[in-house]
Amino acid sequence: MSAAVAALAALVLMPSLASADFAQSPMLAAEVADGKLPPVDQRLPQPPRVIETGPGAYGGDLRIAMSRSRDTRLMTVYGYARLVGYDGDYNLVADILESYEAVDDKVFTFKLRKDHKWSDGHPFTTEDFRYWWEDMANNSDLSPLGPPVLLKVDGEVPNVEILDEHTIRFTWSKPNPFFLPALAGPRPPFIYRPAHYLKQFHESYATPEELAVLIKKRRMRGWGPLHNSRDNLYDMDNPALPTLQPWFNTIRPPSQQFVFVRNPYFHRVDAAGNQLPYIDRVLMNISDGKLIPAKASAGEIDLQARSLFMSHFTFLKRAEEKEGFRTLLWDTSLGARIALYPNMHIADPGWREIFRNRDFRHALSLAVDREEINEVIYFGLATPSNNTVLPQSPLFREEFQTKWATFDLDRANALLDGIGLEKRDKDGVRLLPDGRRLEIVVETAGEETEQTDVLELVHDSWFDIGVKIFTRPSQREVFRNRVFAGETMMGVWFGVNNGVVTANMSPEEFVPTRQDQYQWPKWGQYFQTEGQAGDAIDMPAAQELFDLFRRWQSASSEAERTEIWERILTINADETYTIGVVCCTKQPVVVMNTLRNVPEDAIYAWDPGAHFGIYLPDTFYFAKP
């Protein structure tokens, strides 16, 4: 949202629907008949959000597969109930909110829908925002670092005003352009909580005797850990915690299957007044990620993208007719399908010096045969590229994609010779100044063979410049923690999530702002913790990136933000902090033929997009035979 706009009122004009026009799933109608639920018009907010779709058919179980029990959190991603969310054209619209108003990116006024209820039927009001702000975000036992960084502008927290039961206002003295996009993200900051549920675990509301019983029962160290263990709106691993998502979890992990049941108080309806979601239950089956393609090909999954790669495409196509599904190919928004991340915060001082030498990073990038990788791994359908913005972005320039990314072994060898790495052993492997062999261990999360296939080809071309690599598969959490601790030399992961950015979108993915940026984790951690952990930036080019990021935050025009973005992208291309391999790949998406409303052509993106979330899976339905 541009700060140049004096005010933006996000009022979504909805068709008028009388209470008599509302309809519901037969599953819920039976519960109403049994006296277990109030009628549908008493369960919906006023007004509900109307989605221009339908009418679809009610009922059915949607089968999906994940590789870890903790992936229950993806139902929050896919459910995509947000205070504000992106529509299909990536415009921000009110969702859980009835409306919002933003003035100069400084003053944000939110209006809630009247009679909106949590999944357990309790009212959703500004008390849930107040509880989070006063009793959680500003409580040192629950939030030792205070409110999240998102809510701080140059260290300043907002003034939060509860205007009435349905209206709340956040005010900063300086612009906060990240606020609304973050609320619309795949992993949003939940600036509200079900206060009626969580108060039983809070020292300000429960008696010491009540807390002592719960602390002992759950074997916690105190009331703070007890409260935090019950507060998992994103993870969806506490079946007792009310939600606003279209489905709620009924099974506590660990489990081999999680059953998500429709939320009877969900706030959306279709154009005919049918309460969403159409589908009654989502069955999330947990299995080895390497087995998911086989399960999809056997017709055991209704909707799947996770754990499917282009290497599975031919295999899946062969099974389509027999098993009654189709394999779509969606575009992706990743700046690079795969990127290598030299860890500039590796604990070993010798390797840290090497990885911080940009000529070394340039040499490694020049020695990646991207054309060969594209042909062998991606059937020639990808584009050799750095880890940068995509051609669909208005900020794209060809030099961002190609600089230091053209296969040139002679130039790579010359660069390595020029930085004092000209000595080699009898095997042709270069030697570090301290005599050690130039052997790099590249670590992966161990979740897919695509990365190891790419690394096999990189191994061969890097050996031609005297660099030997070894691949070490791991597990995602182990991999991340090793990077954060400075134990990993180099990691392989996806590139930036959003390669189709505009000038008004945050440049944070190209700047040291997060610990999970594997090229500079300690700088990102330093920013996220406001200097309480991690390391301050100590390289000039990286510091310039951060200074530009701060300038972007306060920029008053799109032209100024465009200028800042171009400089940020130029620095990233010049410095080669990450080594992108290819971009513009396709994402296979398996869809059962009976499943409707899933777009045939779409973009599979994390942020913005929330994978399936932006396409509103609550509107997906199974066609009746």
> For tokens 């997906």, what's the residue?
620
Would residue 244 count as lying in a domain?
no
Domain boundary among 175, 204, 232: 232
- Euclidean distance between CA atoms 507 and 537, whole angstroms: 17
Torsion sign, CA atoms 393, 395, 398, 404: negative
Q: Side chain identity at 112, as an amino acid letter?
A: L
Question: What's the CATH code of the domain at 427?
Answer: 3.10.105.10
Would residue 490 count as lying in a domain?
yes
At residue 583, what are phi and psi to the nearest 5 degrees? -130, -175
Tell me the pLDDT band of 20, cut-offs 50, 70 and 90: low
Query: Both 348 and 223 in a single domain?
Result: no
Helix (H) or strand (E) holding 329: strand 325-332
Task: Report the pLDDT averaged over residues 338-361.
Answer: 98
Beta bridge partners of 470: 441
- Structure confidence at residue 5 (pLDDT): 36
Closest-CA residue to 504 (of 178, 83, 174) = 178
In terms of residue numbers, what domain contains 515? 338-583
DSSP-derived 3-state class of residue 80: coil
Q: Side chain identity at 177, as an amino acid letter?
A: P
Is the predicted pLDDT of residue 147 greater than 90, yes or no? yes
- Structure confidence at residue 9 (pLDDT): 39
> For tokens 């282009």, what's the residue?
310
- Structure confidence at residue 54 (pLDDT): 76
The number of domains in the chain is: 2
Query: Both 223 and 355 in a single domain?
Result: no
Would residue 208 count as lying in a domain?
yes
Q: Calculate the CA 83 to chain-centre distance.
A: 17
Tell me the pLDDT band of 343, cut-offs 50, 70 and 90: very high
What is the maximum alpha-carbon separation in the chain?
84
- Structure confidence at residue 148 (pLDDT): 93
Is the predicted pLDDT of residue 451 greater than 70, yes or no? yes
Query: Both 224 and 358 in a single domain?
Result: no
Burial 364-394 (b: 16+ CB within 10 A, else e): bbbbbbbeebbeebbeeebbbbbbbbbeebe
Q: Calculate the CA 3 to chain-centre distance.
A: 25
DSSP-derived 3-state class of residue 474: coil
Q: What pLDDT digit, counting tens, does each position of 246-265 carry?
A: 999 999 999 999 999 999 99
- Euclidean distance between CA atoms 580 and 272, whole angstroms: 47
Is the predicted pLDDT of residue 94 greater than 80, yes or no? yes
pTM over 0.85: yes
Identify whether the C-beta of residue 246 lies closer than 8 Å to the C-beta of residue 277: yes
Query: What average pLDDT does the chain have?
Result: 95
Q: What pLDDT digit, counting tens, does each position of 502-551 carry?
A: 998 999 999 999 999 999 999 999 999 989 999 999 999 999 999 999 99
Identify whether the C-beta of residue 168 lies closer than 8 Å to the C-beta of residue 110: yes
Query: Both 228 and 354 in a single domain?
Result: no
- Euclidean distance between CA atoms 595 and 64, whole angstroms: 13
Query: Both 206 and 343 in a single domain?
Result: no
Provide the pairing of β-strand 281-286 with 61-66: parallel
Closest-CA residue to 388 (of 573, 565, 514) = 573
Query: Both 215 and 348 in a single domain?
Result: no
Would residue 500 count as lying in a domain?
yes
Query: Both 351 and 482 in a single domain?
Result: yes
Would residue 168 count as lying in a domain?
no
- Euclidean distance between CA atoms 67 and 362, whole angstroms: 36
- Structure confidence at residue 19 (pLDDT): 56
Identify whether the C-beta of residue 378 lies closer than 8 Å to the C-beta of residue 310: yes
- Euclidean distance between CA atoms 412 and 432, whole angstroms: 16
Query: Both 392 and 513 in a single domain?
Result: yes
Would residue 419 count as lying in a domain?
yes
Domain boundary among 232, 251, 282: 232
Query: Both 208 and 342 in a single domain?
Result: no
- The C-alpha angle with vertex 72 and arms to 68 and 75, in degrees rounded to 5, equals 135
> For tokens 């263990």, what's the residue?
229
What DSSP designation does 410 have? H
At residue 587, what are phi and psi to the nearest 5 degrees? -110, 115
- Euclidean distance between CA atoms 78 and 101, whole angstroms: 26
- Euclidean distance between CA atoms 290 and 312, whole angstroms: 11
Would residue 96 count as lying in a domain?
no
Would residue 225 count as lying in a domain?
yes
Tell me the pLDDT band of 1, cut-offs 50, 70 and 90: very low
Count Cβ atoms within 10 A of the Cβ of residue 123 and give its class: 0-12 exposed, 13-18 middle, 19 or more buried: middle
- Structure confidence at residue 11 (pLDDT): 38
Query: Both 548 and 406 in a single domain?
Result: yes
At residue 402, what are phi and psi to the nearest 5 degrees? -110, -15
